[in-house]
Chains A and B, each alone.
Chain A
Amino acid sequence: MELLSYVLQQLINGLQLGAVYALIALGYTMVYGVLRLINFAHGDIFMFGAFTAYYLISKWDVPIYLVFPITMAVTALLGFLIEKIAYKPLRSAPKIALLITAVGVSLFLEYFLSLNSLFTPNYIGFPRPFEVTGYDLRLFTITNVQLIIFAVTALSLLLLYLLIYYTKYGRAMRALSHDREVASLMGIPVDGIISFTFIVGAALAGLGGILYGFAYPQINVFMGIMPGIKSFIAAVLGGIGIIHGAVLGGLIIGVSEVFVSAFISSTLRDGVIFFILFLVLLLKPSGIFGKWIDKV
């Protein structure tokens, strides 16, 4: 009984982390869908979201219901600018040049923002705008932070689902990820839709940043690197380019990371995630929900 309750408790903690990964993974998977690019800077957009929320809450006393939309708007703008400035001039360049540019953008954001006159390279305490309270449900306790994370993630997933499958923009995005050339022949404004994809993905990463700040209240300029890479792995695990795949992948990665920390060793958790990646790439590179296509 005690073991069961411990496992359930860790499962809840894992799902909390996994929900944040899922939000970041969505941006990766959408951008990969339309541009065939691993947007390495995505993890840094997530970091920027956490910092924006930090400034809004602790420096400018913005009420909590405004923190979410403002942060998402700011990160969306950042995502838009990154695409326009760094990626768009390279649209016809070799794929690897684009990938290296993405790595460059990521490094630039990290080191530029870590300047002492900006965010500084230090760890900063993230102020929660409310008290953490736990609700005892016999087998496990669930905190209000966890409830907020689950609710916000579920709501944004629902909205994203509606956006992608029931609007004109969503249909254009899906057409683009199917075949960019044919989509442009059908009159789809390719550049506009790519920008739109970056905006949506970056807004979700910003949302993930706020929630991450609530859950693990310490932020740092380099905090986006590992969650970014892990979320990308989540997207690969679920099947890159597939929305529900990214969500499932994020949850699996989050839960396995917490389980490894809880039952084996917390220093080995990153290693296990990459072990999962190797297994996926070797056994089914198209991911859990992916079709058997020639990615290899």
Chain B
Amino acid sequence: MSFFTSAKRFLLCSIIAYLILKGLFLSGFLTEYIQQIILFSFIAILTSLGLNVIYGYTGQFSLGHAGFYGIGAYTAAYLGAVFKVESIFSFLPILFLGGAAAGIVGYAVGVPILRLRDDFLAIATLGFGILVRVLLDNSDRAIEILGGSRGFIGIPKIVNLEIAFFTMVFLILVTRNLIFSRYGLFWQCIKDDELAATAFGINTARMKLMAFTYGCFLAGVGGALYAYLYSFLHPSNFDFLRSIDFLIIVIVGGMGSITGTIYAGLLWVTVIEGLRIGLPAQALEFRWVLIPIFLIMVMMWKPFGLLARRESKFLGLGKGE
């Protein structure tokens, strides 16, 4: 039980958050659209957390995260269609399989490309992301139901507050415990100085691969949740710009900070979707003009992000809570 008791405070916080959200959802105060946005923010947090493990903790820069997110989404949607999944209990294995598919692909891709560093890795992962997009666009030639560039339709809407929220909470706890385990220390050691890590006897190739696989697994679970939340998938939802979204969440929140990713994920979805509600359509096109400026300013001011390597005492994510 130490797995749960070690993060009592975080569990308490999440139960309180859950009760507040449940109350809001039941009160009918929130429109279905806003409910969907709230659930999407959990997915964004989960997927960005995967990128934070890869990039923030282990220092392996990836520009193709949305590719793994897409693999998870399409795998889960396809398996769901094959096995006629409609209830929550048969959905949970599908959720796991979506993540596992992304993890396996991440492993297979990671073996060759994690030998590369920094900007070469960035280009290779970017290439992988575009490759996934191209394959998804052409997917209906191989498997009709995937829909190709017409999109995958008819996925049942299964994801509700409980599934999205508790999947996120559970995986945040798993991630937190991994980060504070010896493997997490190895990852951070590789990020700080790969040569020194090798000198300490850390199998850097294996550890990098492990972090990458786990990060891709999280992205895959996020994608599977996305598929069963929006019940429609289109290759354009998984393109380069989406990878940038996750990257921005990680960077703004801070490299190597779970708390940062949680806050930044909530902030990001609120800003992106909130501006859609709050602003007239004319001003909407300015969103993507302002976001890059903000990104550049963060890079100049705090190149490691706002909450780099700090965890919130309040949420109980810090060490030794």
Evaluate whether A95 and B118 lie within 8 angstroms (CB atoms) in the complex, with A38-B123, A100-B251, A111-B288 already known: yes
Evaluate whether A285 and B244 lie within 8 angstroms (CB atoms) in the complex, with A111-B285, A268-B134 already known: no
CB-nearest residue of chain B to A94:
B303
Evaluate whether A107 and B291 lie within 8 angstroms (CB atoms) in the complex, with A38-B123, A278-B124 already known: yes
In the complex, the answer to whether B292 meets A108 with C-beta atoms within 8 Å is yes
CA distance A271 to B127 in the complex (A): 8
CA distance A268 to B119 in the complex (A): 25
**Contact partners of A229 in chain B: CB under 8 A:** 123, 126-127, 130
Contact partner, B299, options A93, A116, A275, Cβ 8 Å: A93
Evaluate whether A281 and B116 lie within 8 angstroms (CB atoms) in the complex, with A108-B289, A270-B134 already known: yes
Q: Is A155 an interface residue (CB 8 A)?
A: no
Q: Is B57 an interface residue (CB 8 A)?
A: no
Query: Would you give the shortest CB distance from B63 to chain A, in whole angstroms?
Result: 8
Contact partner, A101, options B120, B244, B296, Cβ 8 Å: B296
Evaluate whether A93 and B303 lie within 8 angstroms (CB atoms) in the complex, with A277-B124, A282-B112 already known: yes
Contact partner, A104, options B61, B135, B292, B303, Cβ 8 Å: B292
Q: CB-CB contacts of B286-300 with A at 8 A, as 1s and 0s?
A: 101101110110011
In the complex, the answer to whether B289 meets A296 with C-beta atoms within 8 Å is no
Q: CB-CB contacts of B240-259 with A at 8 A, as 1s and 0s?
A: 10001001000100000000
Total contacts A to B, CB within 8 angstroms? 121
Evaluate whether A107 and B288 lie within 8 angstroms (CB atoms) in the complex, with A93-B303, A96-B118, A295-B120 already known: yes
In the complex, the answer to whether A295 meets B117 with C-beta atoms within 8 Å is yes
Q: Is A165 an interface residue (CB 8 A)?
A: no
Tally of B interface residues using CB under 8 Å: 39
Within 8 A of A (CB), among B271-317: 285-286, 288-289, 291-293, 295-296, 299-300, 303-304
**Contact partners of A270 in chain B: CB under 8 A:** 130-131, 134
Evaluate whether A107 and B300 lie within 8 angstroms (CB atoms) in the complex, with A233-B127, A274-B128, A281-B113 already known: no
Query: Would you give the shortest CB distance from B200 to chain A, in whole angstroms?
Result: 20
CA distance A187 to B139 in the complex (A): 57
CB-nearest residue of chain B to A270:
B134
**Contact partners of B131 in chain A: CB under 8 A:** 270-271, 274-275
CA distance A105 to B295 in the complex (A): 9
In the complex, the answer to whether A295 meets B127 with C-beta atoms within 8 Å is no
Q: Is A188 an interface residue (CB 8 A)?
A: no
Q: CB-CB contacts of A272-292 with B at 8 A, as 1s and 0s?
A: 001101100110010000000
Q: Is A76 an interface residue (CB 8 A)?
A: no
**Mind listing 27 A-B residue pairs with CB under 8 Å?**
A37-B119, A86-B296, A89-B300, A94-B304, A96-B61, A97-B303, A99-B118, A99-B122, A101-B299, A103-B244, A103-B247, A104-B292, A108-B296, A111-B288, A115-B289, A233-B127, A265-B138, A268-B138, A270-B134, A274-B127, A274-B130, A274-B131, A277-B124, A278-B124, A278-B127, A281-B116, A296-B117
